[in-house]
A and B are shown apart, each in its own frame.
Chain A
Amino acid sequence: MFQKQKRWAEMGIFKKQVIINAEQEGLKTLVMPTGVKDVITFAGSFLGGSLFSPETNRKIAPITAAMMDKGTLSKDKYTISDILESVGAELNFSSTRHHVQFAGHCLKDNIETVIQLLAEQLRTPSFPDEELTTLKTRMVGNLERLKEDTKQQAMISFLRSLYPQNHPNHRLTVDETINHVKSVKKHELKRFHEKYYGLGNLIFAAAGDVDPIQINETLGNQLNGWGEKKTSLNFKGLKARLNKENETKIEIPEKTSMDMYLGQAVGIDRDHPDYYPLMMAIYILGGNFSARLMQTVRDQQGLTYGIGSSLAGVSFGSDGYWSTWGTFAPDLLDVGKNATMEQILNWYNTGVTQEELKAKKTTITGSYKVSMDSTGGLTAQILSNAEKGRSVEYLDQHPDTIRRLTLDQVNSAIKNYIDPNKLTFVAAGTFTDE
């Protein structure tokens, strides 16, 4: 009945609406004007995440990123904050495993001011001693709090079981991380900044009430002359440990709900031809509320508030993992684990059905449209896609990639990459017995 909406569905929206500058001086901007009024959401990144830290201290990269809003050579922290807050803008810096990221939003009238500040913060941070001391104190406090987080503790242990040290998917223990934070020195941050912060692979994405010419010109002016860094990803040599049956229990006192992780390494990354078939298989098992795990373990049996399954850790050449996560009351953990295993075995033994595949294809292709509802969703999609070195057309083609999957591909992926006899199981919380 809605003719206009049919037109939307047939458009290659990203190809038509995202305006890309020529990659000049190691900078790529992708700007998507939308119908929203007055607001702009932006995000960007470049290589220099925690994996680029020296092996002896993985927190150098994240702390360098966290110091970006603590002062520049010409502005202290309060001056920076005042410029942003006086126009209601936000600008935050963070670090992922692979990238330094920045993200924010502002009203369209203030975009030049915010970009000028962003460039200054990235180019000339001052790393004040007292700010570093306070930041480390706060980070240690947050890390101490993680020790009582049942989900985080279970996840850290799960990934440590699957991956060796220095693999991109490995995680440090909380105590190891605290030690790294405490030992970070100012000169290490300055050295890291000098080595990795610059043009070369910088991406800037924005969506909303945005003028692409203004964005490109402002960025070009502000980043002109910033040194180019020849950073590249090179983590492909490290592989997961061999899967084996493995069980770990982490006792955290006086917790009323437990977190469970169950899964294994799968040996492929996002660019492997079997990635989408396997992703689809796992989505049918536990990708959303109407997937098998939520429909059975939660909806029919009432054993959990939340349970799901996903394929993760597959970006930038990493061999990823399949995990199933769930929460259970301590006295229902064993029952919950058994109910989960029953579903996993059924999924493994008999595969998924044509009907399930058809339904989840429309879920994923519909979700693609729904994710365009806000400038935040659009910006995140554009940046994530560009970080992987893909063209914007890839985003438009994504629904077709999903539609082309066959039942045989999906069920073969389960058999080829899942081994229910070699699962790693971790539970964290307050155990009721033994």
Chain B
Amino acid sequence: MKAQLQIYMSPKNNQLFPGFKFVKSSGGIEEYTLQKNDLTVLVLEDHSAPVATLMVTYHVGSRNEAIGYTGSTHLLEHLMFKGSRNFNKEKGTAIWTELQNIGAQINATTWNDRTNYFEVVPSEHLERAIAIEADRMRFAFLRDEDRQPEMTVVRNEYERGENSPFDVLDKNIWATAYLAHPYHHSTIGWRSDIENISTERLQEFYHTYYWPNNATATIIGDFNKAEALALIKNYFGEHNASKNNIPEMYTEEPEQEGPRRTVVKRAGQTGVVGVGHKTQEGLHEDTYAFQLLGKVLSEGKTSRFYKTIVDRGLATSLLMYDFPLKDNGMFITYIFLTPDTDHQTVEDIVLEEYKKIINGGVTKEEIARAKAQTRASVAFSRDGSYAVASALNEAIAIGDWTFYTTFMDHIEKVSTIDIQRVAKKYLVEEKSTTGWFVPKTKKMG
């Protein structure tokens, strides 16, 4: 693991590739820049299975949206499958067909800080995936006749989310916690924006953010590096860098000066409690202490919340997350109540456990266990080309892909004092946003 902390500034065996500038390597992953257009390229050869993953991550997410066009990053992601110059239905080369017919796993996801498109392919088909991603980077059709039916598809995705008490409560908590910053709205966006955003606005969004100098292409798996980089140069090298600078999102969330609450009442069977606290940006050193604190509180049957809540029959399950984000994130605990449990009882237990950590910290045994759990999960994040690409994708999103390769080294340095310090700093009432999903007593079918 120690080797992963080292970041090398010259290529292995001093190997050079025409058209590329070596930037650095870490954890076996090498970073290059395609000199023609500043596309960032990450490569890791791994011949464990006859499979390769290509992932293109654009540095744009719902964080780059505002009122009137929330959800546009996501809607645009859908339209990116509707055809581009060389890959379209008219030519008999539709993207889904081209890739699924060779057995590829293919999809795209949008989140707060990034949009990613990926293909997991039998490795002899890597070129096809590269050709498609390069083509739609600058030549996507984005036609109004495609947006209209896709809008209702996305609206049904939104409607499905609204069926879930958890999804609804999660949206409400973020909307309550963030007033100015665009983390206020979820990636799917508000319904009226999904319905009314114009094709022209989506095209504008595309022509602002979809450029090689605002993207990272990652290739992991069973390929030859020299050949793969040649393919990247051949296909992505067609594009120029953007003429204009990629706009920065500059809105900052004002300091929260008191606790906030939200309640959602809908037909349902059982309640949900969510307790969130604003935290630091993902690349801040405090992130690592929070990652361990999350495990102490909620991972496994020895965790504090499992013992004090689930084991007492007060909840069917719990979920905690504190995904590292580009800007300040949230440390949120969700408790799914059993039928006879009241919300306040569980909320009080959560806050009491936070107080215990603020006042007494965590034990050496707890932190050792949390580190072991993290060590194993880091090892498993190398199990398969998609697993590596997927983990890298989130590190790219927050601004530094070596967050992935150096993560465990930072975790090893966290002490019990660090965990107590971050709990004192962030898990305070003034920074909290609490939400309840309260089922209305309507008879279910």
A residues whose Cβ falls under 8 Å from a Cβ of B: 1-2, 4-6, 8-9, 34-39, 41, 69, 77-78, 81-82, 84-89, 105-107, 133-134, 137-142, 144-145, 147-148, 150, 153, 208, 250-257, 288-290, 295, 298-306, 327-329, 332, 359-360, 362-370, 372-377, 428-429
- B159→A375 contact, CB < 8 A: no
What are 20 contact pairs spanning A and B, CB under 8 A? A4-B224, A39-B380, A82-B302, A87-B376, A88-B373, A105-B376, A208-B383, A252-B445, A290-B100, A299-B149, A302-B153, A303-B152, A306-B160, A366-B103, A367-B105, A369-B51, A369-B122, A374-B383, A374-B387, A375-B384
- A256→B162 contact, CB < 8 A: yes
- B386→A85 contact, CB < 8 A: no
- B159→A256 contact, CB < 8 A: yes
Kindly state whether residue B288 has any CB partner on chain A within 8 Å.
no
Starting from the known contacts A253-B267, A360-B101, 20 additional A-B residue pairs (CB-CB under 8 Å) come to A2-B224, A9-B122, A34-B48, A34-B49, A85-B373, A138-B313, A141-B336, A145-B316, A251-B445, A303-B152, A304-B156, A306-B160, A359-B101, A366-B122, A367-B103, A367-B105, A369-B51, A370-B51, A370-B121, A373-B51
Nearest-neighbour CB distance to chain A for B107, whole angstroms, equals 9
In the complex, per-residue mask of B418-432: 1 if CB is within 8 Å of any chain A CB, else 0: 000000000000000
Which of A39, A329, A428 is B159 in contact with, Cβ under 8 Å?
A: A329
In the complex, per-residue mask of B270-306: 1 if CB is within 8 Å of any chain A CB, else 0: 1000000000000000000000000000011110000
Nearest-neighbour CB distance to chain B for A2, whole angstroms, equals 6
- A373→B444 contact, CB < 8 A: no
Kindly state whether residue B151 has any CB partner on chain A within 8 Å.
yes
Residues of A with C-beta under 8 A to B380: 39, 105
Which chain B residue shows the least CB distance to A301? B149
- B379→A145 contact, CB < 8 A: no
- B97→A373 contact, CB < 8 A: no
Cα-based distance from A36 to B165 in the complex (angstroms)? 39
- A289→B442 contact, CB < 8 A: no
- A302→B338 contact, CB < 8 A: no
Kindly state whether residue B339 has any CB partner on chain A within 8 Å.
yes
- A253→B339 contact, CB < 8 A: no
- A366→B102 contact, CB < 8 A: yes
Cα-based distance from A8 to B48 in the complex (angstroms)? 11
Residues of B with C-beta under 8 A to A139: 316
Nearest-neighbour CB distance to chain B for A288, whole angstroms, equals 5
Chain B: interface size category: 35 or more
- A141→B120 contact, CB < 8 A: no
Cα-based distance from A221 to B224 in the complex (angstroms)? 44
Cα-based distance from A250 to B105 in the complex (angstroms)? 34
Cα-based distance from A39 to B382 in the complex (angstroms)? 9
Residues of A with C-beta under 8 A to B122: 5, 9, 366, 369-370
- B373→A2 contact, CB < 8 A: no
B residues whose Cβ falls under 8 Å from a Cβ of A: 46-51, 53, 94, 96-97, 100-106, 120-127, 148-160, 162-163, 165, 221-224, 227, 266-270, 299-302, 310-313, 315-317, 336-339, 368-369, 372-377, 379-380, 382-387, 440, 442-445
- B153→A140 contact, CB < 8 A: no
Which chain B residue shows the least CB distance to A207? B383
Given contacts A9-B124, A298-B153, A299-B149, contact A137 B386 (CB under 8 A): no
Nearest-neighbour CB distance to chain B for A365, whole angstroms, equals 6
Cα-based distance from A141 to B309 in the complex (angstroms)? 14
Cα-based distance from A8 to B121 in the complex (angstroms)? 13
Residues of B with C-beta under 8 A to A6: 124
Cα-based distance from A140 to B363 in the complex (angstroms)? 34
* Among all A-B residue pairs, the 4 with the closest Cβ atoms: A366-B103, A88-B376, A302-B149, A35-B48
Which chain A residue shows the least CB distance to B51? A373
- A148→B373 contact, CB < 8 A: no
Cα-based distance from A289 to B48 in the complex (angstroms)? 28
Cα-based distance from A8 to B52 in the complex (angstroms)? 13
- A290→B94 contact, CB < 8 A: yes
Residues of B with C-beta under 8 A to A69: 301
Residues of B with C-beta under 8 A to A9: 50, 122, 124
Given contacts A290-B100, A374-B386, contact A77 B313 (CB under 8 A): no
Nearest-neighbour CB distance to chain B for A89, whole angstroms, equals 7
Residues of A with C-beta under 8 A to B383: 36, 39, 41, 208, 374-376
- B163→A88 contact, CB < 8 A: no
- A329→B156 contact, CB < 8 A: yes
Which chain A residue shows the least CB distance to B372? A88
Cα-based distance from A365 to B387 in the complex (angstroms)? 22
Nearest-neighbour CB distance to chain A for B120, whole angstroms, equals 5
- A39→B50 contact, CB < 8 A: no
Given contacts A144-B339, A302-B153, contact A77 B269 (CB under 8 A): no
Residues of A with C-beta under 8 A to B106: 289
Which of A2, A77, A137, A147 is B444 in contact with, Cβ under 8 Å?
A: A147
Which chain A residue shows the least CB distance to B373? A88
Cα-based distance from A41 to B310 in the complex (angstroms)? 27
- A36→B48 contact, CB < 8 A: yes
